Structure 1
Amino acid sequence: MASDHSKIRNGKISKENVTFYKEAGYLIAENLISKYGIAELRNETNQIFRGERGKIEGLLPLSADITDKEFLKKYVAIHFPHKISKVIHRYLSHPKLTAILSKIISPNVKCMQSMLFVKGPGKSGQSWHQDEYFIPTRDCSLTGAWIAIDDATVDNGCLWIIPGSNKPSSILPRVENKDSNFADVDTIDVSGYRKEDIIPVEVKSGSVVFFNGYTLHSSLKNVTDDQFRIALVNHYMSAESMLPWDQDGKLPSTEDLRDIVMVTGQDPYAHKGITDVNKPYLRPEILDIKK
């Protein structure tokens, strides 16, 4: 797995990139989103958290003179912002994203979740996890697209991943978390991996990190005094696969959750129609689900 194949050049994914993704479980597309696009997403982030795009339970009332940074520090993330934001919804199917997704997933791709992270100074990170544990696709097609709105560095809490941990495509047990870098109550024990095999993914604003649902990843605490690490993270999967996702018990059990957005190709299950059951909500600072 030559390191140069971990990066997609000029937005054009190569056969070597696809092979690398299947083996290592991640890819980095530098400067995939334009400066204009990033400015648009940054402005929309502020509008969403100010409550200008619709009601989200738990959003605090704001005085007119409070700055964007001051109120963003109060939050960690919003799930499903595309439900109230036309801008976020449009970026689910951004052409440069779908051109890559159609190569590493399938010609037919659907999106089932968006998350808008606003990790401010001093905020803790996410513990080691596999997205597949929370979003049950089980066909190895689950893919996160992590769009860096701010530069992501080790200091402000960038992603850390373990290349190759997507194999053998199994869900690892979760254990009690004792690391103060993480806000979550549980984590995955990664002590069996060599330190040199656990790498930070530092990327510039506009870059996108793609990673498989079984790939182990985490983020550490933002130890800066004045930097944010804002990112839009969308989750995609093959449209050929059904989605038995009950949102950790929030929704009725189902063999195929149809609250999705087709982003490219054809929907084999279009005859089932589309539902609208998920609503945007604030992510709690301490995550304790899947009890």
Structure 2
Amino acid sequence: MNSLAAIGSMVGKQFKKQGFCVVEDALDGRDIDRLCGEAIDVCLGRRGFIARNAAECRTVDDVNNHVIAVHFPHKISDLFREYVAHPSITRMLTEIIGPNVKCMQSMIFMKSKGTPGQAWHQDEVFIPTTDRSLVGAWIALDQATIDNGCLWVIPGSHRPGVLWDLRPHQDPRFDDAPESFGFPFDEDAAVPVEVERGSIIFFHGHLLHRSLPNLAPSGYRRSYVNHYMSAESPLRWSGGIPENLREDYRDIVMVAGTDPRADIGMEDLSVPYYRTREQAA
């Protein structure tokens, strides 16, 4: 079971049953150091224009102390675009999704000390595919632990294929994103997914997951998260900007195989931006 094909098969079986799987040591320390440094450069505008709805970050300390998330960094950073299609990711995606895979979104989560988590949710609610093929790849840029706010998942919660309703919440542990509710799963069945730096968590778009605040005395719980789906299917999505709603969202990156819908062409729609702790309060 040491060959790449055998590992991929094993991961694929676990993913189908549990809705998630972990590939340890997928990236080495040099990879992670490059990504962490690049995140700073992106936030400081050194890779091109980045939108913001709060005060501009002018120093490294500004970024580290205030930024909680960066959206679509691959649109202005060659390095983040490169890692969207890193072989350690695409090898597993083709096992899970199929031979033709596209990416429509990338995000960096900074999560410094005291940053809130996000309540229970399913990613497919926000990026709705027609074939249930959405998969997230969560790259750990730091060791992720219970103390610093690792992911929690409810294993098997993807299997019903239901997208549960959302509602606002008043729980101070979480940011202002809405929470899923009404699902028939016991929250006591949730498990923490603690991983080492350089590991990748793959999870199904219907899987219920959350994270808790970073309560560690120091340090970060940074991650680089990309979303993928089968290139065979259209994506009715707006990229978070209502006026950009498309019957088939074509601001994508092909990461494996060929594009069966290439005749439609590509578009440049998404704009990279960051969010701060002040906005999430």
Corresponding residue to 1:39 among 9, 17, 33: 33
List aligned pairs for 1:87-98, cutoff 5 A. Answer: 87-98=79-90
Task: Tell me, yes or no, if structure 1 residue 162 matches structure 2 residue 154.
Answer: yes
**Aligned-partner Cα distance in 2 for 1:237–1:191:** 24
Which residue of 1 is the match for residue 49 of structure 2?
55
Q: Which runs of 5+ in 2 are unaligned?
A: none
Q: Which amino acid aligns with 2:256?
A: T
Q: Secondary structure at the match of 2:181?
A: coil
In structure 1, give the amino acid aligned to 2:56.
L
Q: Closer, same or farther in 2 for the Cα pair 1:163/1:9, shift >3 Å?
A: farther
Check if 1:200 corresponds to 2:196.
no
The superposition leaves residues 12-34 of structure 1 with CA deviations (integer Å, 9 ceiling, x where unpaired) of: 53433212211211010001011
Letter in 1 for 2:103: C
**1:175: which partner in 2?**
167
Cα separation, 2, equivalents of 1:257 and 1:9: 38
Question: For residue 212 of structure 1, what is the aligned residue in structure 2?
Answer: 204
Task: Give 5+ residue unaligned stretches, structure 1.
Answer: 1-7
**3-state SS in 2 of match to 1:101:** helix
On the 8 A contact 1:49/1:72 being kept in 2, the answer is no
What SS does structure 2 have at the residue aligned with 1:228?
Answer: coil
Q: What is the match of residue 126 of structure 2?
A: 134
Cα offset, 1:39, TM superposition: 1.1
The structure 1 residue matched to 2:254, chosen from 253, 256, 262, is 262
Larger proportion of helix: 2
Q: Deviations over 1:155-182 (max 9, x none)?
A: 1111111110001111101133132111
Asked whether the equivalents of residues 132 and 138 of structure 1 are also in contact (C-alpha less than 8 Å), the reply is no
Structure 1 residues 160 and 190, CA gap change in structure 2 (3 angstroms): farther
**Superposition RMSD on alpha carbons, in Å?**
2.1
Counterpart position of 1:29: 23
SS in 1 for 2:185: coil
Q: Name the TM-score, length of structure 2 as normaliser.
A: 0.92
Separation (CA, whole Å) in 1 of partners of 2:236 and 2:34: 34
Matched with 1:253 is 245
Range with bigger deviation, 171-180 or 104-113: 171-180
Separation (CA, whole Å) in 1 of partners of 2:2 and 2:273: 35
Query: Helix, strand or coil for the counterpart of 2:226?
Result: strand
Distance change >3 Å, CA 49–CA 154, structure 1 → 2: same
Residues 123 and 10 of structure 1: CA distance in aligned 2, closer, same or farther (over 3 Å): farther
2, 11, 18: which is aligned to 1:17? Answer: 11
Which of 206, 214, 223 is the aligned partner of 1:231? 223
Separation in 2, partners of 1:129, 1:99? 27
